[in-house]
């Protein structure tokens, strides 16, 4: 796609500084941009690059304007405007509406005429697919499950029975919604399965990454509120509640019945134990183990620093002496003070 | 479903205390239960809730009986009885027997008449699907593989060739059985693949979570004994042997040729190295790295505690000074003792 | 398959020591080998087993030759020769060329006559499947994507649009190539999605494990160079660049825009942060967190040692006192020195 800068400004209700007739047909980074590109700068460390850019236009804050010679869109959040311009320049190619002849749609299922159902999709009894939803090839939607308006399932997603997914959600390939929570009771000689009879409720504008899993609840539902973004390989266990607009990076695991607040940011491969509560606005750094409730907003961590293996080995063995070291320091302090 | 309490007692061979004619149609927690609900209490901390419950009946141990005014099933393991009652009140809706017209069944495959084969399922040459097995939509069963009686594969499970899965197993969506073990040899300039010609043998009553993977053996089989329960995102590498009734929580990784005993409980996201042996009855806490054999039953751990990032940063940098700190303590002790 | 030892030697251009007419029909370990088996020994610790082996032949280095009484292939890298002999004795059974009648191939897609397209495979517009590629059941290949010569996709793999995969690659089941990178910008009240308009480029001879994910780039492509081997559950985020012949064990996560060198070996469940650079020939031990660039080849680690939970608990709580302990040691040293 190709726009004059003034057209982009009109579409996004922005004002232009400089030549509003430059033609924009792609985005690029400030360093690599060439004629026809628009780039964004939101950080003073790119000021030098900004002065030298070959871009046809830039997206910047007011206070950076004096550093550029090219046409500019002046905004409060350059990266957000950039995101919207990407969508204009690279419009998504959505599959056409209609049901592929190889799809298997149960007679009792309700599929909107404006939805797109790909090859080999299976929609089971009483399931509902709303307007403009896109269900790509190989997806399976269980009985009594609902897929909201404009929600997009990439190929080979599985949604079990009795789950509801909101509007404008995105589920990536191989992700699974509604698999059994991990509940067993040891009974004499073996583990007895505790059937998981709850469901999953997912709000609007939720994104779920490839190979991520949201288990169904044991009795009540597992709940993911609106605007939550989950990266790939994330696990949401049974009866977890994830507050609105919380983000989890790749590989995070949240164990059963834990409640996570709104607007949290959970770093990659962090593990969050069961039956705890994390308040709103908590940040967890990558690979941290969250072993207790966090009642105060803020940032939390638990890892140890990377080192050359040779040095690490020497230090790491001392970890098992920490309690003894602490006691020996206490003892030394006593001895010194007695003498002093 | 709806039962009188005495019917539940008869079906499970239990005795009733109190009104055996109360009608039960659902389960709930002791706090939230209302008329028609049955709940269970196995822990004295719920004694107060038990006294105030609105449930129509409770499942309790003998020694809790004096604390309730409602009808009761008196049992040794309330949670196990609860699990069985869930199954009675919420019977699973299994697909009907028969082969969906869109399934592709090889002429040499043997599929029981009582098995249920979903849409787009592929069963390759000489594969066998036993009685009452349920293979849901999009599953692929490789040649010479066997699926045991009453085993249930949820949609989009892949079983490679030459793998055998026992009876009454459950495999969740996107899980994979029989993918190649990770075996390579660096040969001059590149990694040479070592073909993995073993298979996978899985015992009865095994559950495998969504997006979990069990690799095939290099030469001999990878083995999972009966009653093992694997949560989501678990990895069992080539030639691992998992003993009966061992449980692994979400995200555990077991590396090649490691042998794990019976009745172990492995916490979420623990990593277990290759070529070691873990004896029976070992418990590993979440996110622990198991870097050596564990020959003694018991509980093992390796993580560091979560803290506010600001404090954590101060302590964490000291990790690289641990060896030096230990030596300085030793030096101080010498100095003090020399003086003393 | 069955070969005389001299036939194997001819096929691999090797020389035989001893009886070149022994018949070999399988491989086994040096300890378990019986008549008809060939085994390999590359390590002096198996010398005793080598002397007592019942194998019909062994693959060994020159300097081990005096320790065996059986026929031998004498080579520089016994394990590499072993790998080649496995391929001869256990030839892979590849599906026949041709397109399964249930596959959905877009009219504009180009599929080689020598490729094998399994049941329910979907190949979208303008996609290309090269000679001798094998696309097993349930795979989905997006529009404008390319699958190279002799590349093998096991069942239920998803390749999004605009991705290219080289020759002789192997992708295991439930793996995903081309899912959206995890890019969002918080805009007033919610996360705005930054559309990911780059693609994925994968070189020749790359292997990608089951349930692994390679995200597409934000603007430019995510790149995996030739000969890279990724185990199961690995994550390659948007705009990561993985150098040739680098190996990642199970569960490794590489965050966005990080550049990893050639010939690196990354241990299982290691986490590598975003926007850093790791040079060639770096080894990372399992479960290490790589939180900064590594500019020097060598081995790096960050974990803490496993211990019995009871002892671990005592030591672990001291981690939060490390900074205080270090300061107290410093204080003690001052006091001692002042006195001394």
pLDDT in tens, A120-177: 999 999 999 999 999 999 999 999 999 999 999 999 999 999 999 999 999 999 999 9
Q: To probe the interface with B, which of C28, C89, C100, C119 has the most B CB atoms within 10 Å?
A: C119
Work out the angle at residue C227's Cα, subtended by the Cα atoms of residues C221 and C228, and round it to the nearest 5 degrees.
60
- In the predicted model, what is the mean pLDDT of residues C86-111? 96
Chain A, chain C: beta-carbon pairs less than 8 Å apart: 221
**Which tokens is B205 given?**
């009553």
Give the integer Cα–Cα distance in Å for C91 and B90: 49
Give the integer Cα–Cα distance in Å for C199 and C143: 12
Residues of A in contact with B83 (CB under 8 A): 185, 187, 192-195
- The set of chains that have 3 or more CB pairs under 8 A with A is B, C
Q: Say how far residue C114 (Cα) sits from the centre of its chain.
A: 27
pLDDT of residue B111: 98
Give the integer Cα–Cα distance in Å for B179 and A153: 25
Domains of chain B: 3-89 (3.40.1390.10), 98-300 (2.160.10.10), 310-339 (no CATH)
Q: Which residues of B are catalytic?
A: 238
Q: How many other CB atoms are there within 10 angstroms of residue C176's CB atom?
A: 31
pLDDT at C131 over 90: yes
pLDDT of residue C338: 81
Q: Do C233 and B237 touch (CB under 8 A)?
A: no
Q: How many other CB atoms are there within 10 angstroms of residue A101's CB atom?
A: 7
With contact defined as beta carbons under 8 Å apart, do A62 and A41 qualify? no
Q: Looking at the complex, report in whole angstroms how far the Cα of residue A258 sits from the nearest Cα belonging to chain C.
A: 23
pLDDT > 90 in chain B, percent: 94
* Element housing A190 (H / E): strand A190-193
Give the integer Cα–Cα distance in Å for B252 and B249: 6
Across the interface, of B138, B142, B290, the residue whose CB is closest to C306 is B290
- In the predicted model, what is the mean pLDDT of residues C206-215? 98
Q: How many other CB atoms are there within 10 angstroms of residue A254's CB atom?
A: 31
Across the interface, of A193, A211, A321, the residue whose CB is closest to B174 is A211
Residues of C in contact with A87 (CB under 8 A): 195
A239-247 contacts at long range (C-beta below 8 A, 24 or more positions apart):
A239/A181, A239/A198, A243/A280, A244/A203, A245/C189, A245/C190, A245/C191, A247/C184, A247/C191
pLDDT at A340 over 80: no
pLDDT of residue C340: 54
ipTM of the complex: 0.96
Ranges of residues in chain B with a pLDDT under 50 are none
> How many residues are there in chain B?
340
Average model confidence (pLDDT) across chain A: 96
Q: Looking at the complex, report in whole angstroms how far the Cα of residue A78 sits from the nearest Cα belonging to chain B.
A: 29
Q: Do B286 and A273 touch (CB under 8 A)?
A: yes
* Buried/exposed code over A217-250 (b: 16+ C-beta within 10 A; e: otherwise): bbbbbbbbbbbbbbbbbbbbbbbbbbbbbbbbbb
Q: Looking at the complex, report in whole angstroms how far the Cα of residue A3 sits from the nearest Cα belonging to chain C.
A: 18
Residues of B in contact with C227 (CB under 8 A): 190-191
Q: Do A80 and C192 touch (CB under 8 A)?
A: yes
- In the predicted model, what is the mean pLDDT of residues C184-207? 97
- β-strand B271-272 against B289-290: which pairing, if any? parallel
**C7 burial level (CB within 10 Å; 0-12, 13-18, 19+):** middle
Q: Do C326 and B321 touch (CB under 8 A)?
A: yes
Q: Do C172 and B179 touch (CB under 8 A)?
A: yes
Annotate A33-84 with DSSP letters as a single string.
Answer: --TTEEEE--SGGGHHHHHH---SEEEE-GGGGGG--SEEEE-S-HHHHHHH
Q: To probe the interface with C, which of A289, A313, A326 has the most C CB atoms within 10 Å?
A: A326
In terms of CA atoms, which chain C residue is nearest residue B331? C333
Q: Do A255 and B232 touch (CB under 8 A)?
A: no
Residues of A in contact with B287 (CB under 8 A): 271, 289
Q: Do C158 and A174 touch (CB under 8 A)?
A: yes
Higher pLDDT, B293 or A219: B293
With contact defined as beta carbons under 8 Å apart, do B216 and B239 qualify? no
Residues of B in contact with A213 (CB under 8 A): 174, 209-211, 232-233
Q: Do B156 and C154 touch (CB under 8 A)?
A: no
Across the interface, of C120, C191, C213, the residue whose CB is closest to A210 is C213
Give the integer Cα–Cα distance in Å for C286 and B145: 33
Q: Looking at the complex, report in whole angstroms how far the Cα of residue A252 sits from the nearest Cα belonging to chain B.
A: 9
Q: Do B322 and A315 touch (CB under 8 A)?
A: yes
Q: Do C210 and B184 touch (CB under 8 A)?
A: no
Q: What is the pLDDT of residues A72-102, one digit of tens each?
A: 999 999 999 999 999 999 998 889 999 999 9
The catalytic residue among C172, C238, C241, C245 is C238
Residues of A in contact with B316 (CB under 8 A): 301, 303-305
Across the interface, of B251, B304, B309, the residue whose CB is closest to A304 is B304
Q: How many other CB atoms are there within 10 angstroms of residue C4's CB atom?
A: 15
Q: Looking at the complex, report in whole angstroms how far the Cα of residue B304 sits from the nearest Cα belonging to chain A.
A: 6
DSSP C329: H
Residues of A in contact with B249 (CB under 8 A): 182, 255
pLDDT of residue B55: 96
Q: Looking at the complex, report in whole angstroms how far the Cα of residue B76 sits from the nearest Cα belonging to chain C.
A: 30
Contacts of C88 (CB under 8 A, 6+ apart): C1, C3, C8, C11
With contact defined as beta carbons under 8 Å apart, do B171 and B165 qualify? yes
Q: Do A298 and B308 touch (CB under 8 A)?
A: yes
Across the interface, of C251, C268, C326, the residue whose CB is closest to B325 is C326
With contact defined as beta carbons under 8 Å apart, do B282 and B297 qualify? yes
Tell me the HSE value of C166 on the side-chain side, using a 13 A CA sphere: 17
- The set of chains that have 3 or more CB pairs under 8 A with B is A, C
* Element housing B277 (H / E): strand B277-278
Q: Do C300 and A309 touch (CB under 8 A)?
A: yes
Contacts of B334 (CB under 8 A, 6+ apart): none
Q: Which residues of A are catalytic?
A: 238
Across the interface, of B138, B321, B323, the residue whose CB is closest to A138 is B138
pLDDT band at C93 (very low <50, low <70, confident <90, very high): confident
Residues of A in contact with B305 (CB under 8 A): 291, 302
Across the interface, of A180, A184, A315, the residue whose CB is closest to B172 is A180
pLDDT of residue A337: 85
Q: What is the pLDDT of residues A21-55, one digit of tens each?
A: 999 999 999 999 999 999 999 888 999 999 999 99
Q: Do B174 and A158 touch (CB under 8 A)?
A: yes
Q: Looking at the complex, report in whole angstroms how far the Cα of residue A84 sits from the nearest Cα belonging to chain B.
A: 34
Q: Looking at the complex, report in whole angstroms how far the Cα of residue B256 sits from the nearest Cα belonging to chain A.
A: 22
pLDDT of residue A93: 87
**Which tokens is C115 given?**
């490729």
Give the integer Cα–Cα distance in Å for B313 and B296: 35
Residues of B in contact with A200 (CB under 8 A): none
Across the interface, of B179, B191, B336, the residue whose CB is closest to C232 is B179
| H helices, E strands: number in chain C | 5, 40
Q: How many other CB atoms are there within 10 angstroms of residue B16's CB atom?
A: 19
pLDDT of residue B340: 54
Give the integer Cα–Cα distance in Å for C36 and C27: 8
pLDDT at C88 over 60: yes
Q: Say how far residue C262 (Cα) sits from the centre of its chain.
A: 13
Q: To probe the interface with B, which of C33, C76, C102, C120 has the most B CB atoms within 10 Å?
A: C120
């Amino acid at each position: 796609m190709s726009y004059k800068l003034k057209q982009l400004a009109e579409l996004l209700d922005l004002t232009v500084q400089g030549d509003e007739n430059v033609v924009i047909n792609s985005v690029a980074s400030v360093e690599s941009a060439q004629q026809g590109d628009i780039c964004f700068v939101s950080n003073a460390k790119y000021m030098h690059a900004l002065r030298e850019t070959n871009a046809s236009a830039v997206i910047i804050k007011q206070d950076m304007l004096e550093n550029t010679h090219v046409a500019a869109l002046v905004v409060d959040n350059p990266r957000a405007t950039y995101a919207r311009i990407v969508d204009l320049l690279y419009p998504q190619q959505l599959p056409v509406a209609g049901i592929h002849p190889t799809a298997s749609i149960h007679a009792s299922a309700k599929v909107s005429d404006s939805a797109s159902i790909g090859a080999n999709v299976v929609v089971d009894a009483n399931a509902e697919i709303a307007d403009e939803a896109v269900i790509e090839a190989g997806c399976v939607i269980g009985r009594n499950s609902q897929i909201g308006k404009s929600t997009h399932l990439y190929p080979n997603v599985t949604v079990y029975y009795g789950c509801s997914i909101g509007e404008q959600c995105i589920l990536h390939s191989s992700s699974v919604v509604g698999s059994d929570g991990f509940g067993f009771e040891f009974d004499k000689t073996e583990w007895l399965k505790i059937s998981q009879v709850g469901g999953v409720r997912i709000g609007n504008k939720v994104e779920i990454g490839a190979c991520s899993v949201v288990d169904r609840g044991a009795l009540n539902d597992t709940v993911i509120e609106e605007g939550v973004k989950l990266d790939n390989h994330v696990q949401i266990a049974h009866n977890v509640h994830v507050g609105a607009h919380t983000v989890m990076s790749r590989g995070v695991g949240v164990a059963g019945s834990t409640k996570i607040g709104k607007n949290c940011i959970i770093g990659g491969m962090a593990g969050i134990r069961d039956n705890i509560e994390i308040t709103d606005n908590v940040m967890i750094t990558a690979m941290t183990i969250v072993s207790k409730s966090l009642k105060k907003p803020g940032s939390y961590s638990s890892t140890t620093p990377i080192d050359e293996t040779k040095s690490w080995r020497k230090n790491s063995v001392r970890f098992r002496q920490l309690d003894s070291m602490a006691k020996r320091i206490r003892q030394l302090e006593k001895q010194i003070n007695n003498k002093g």
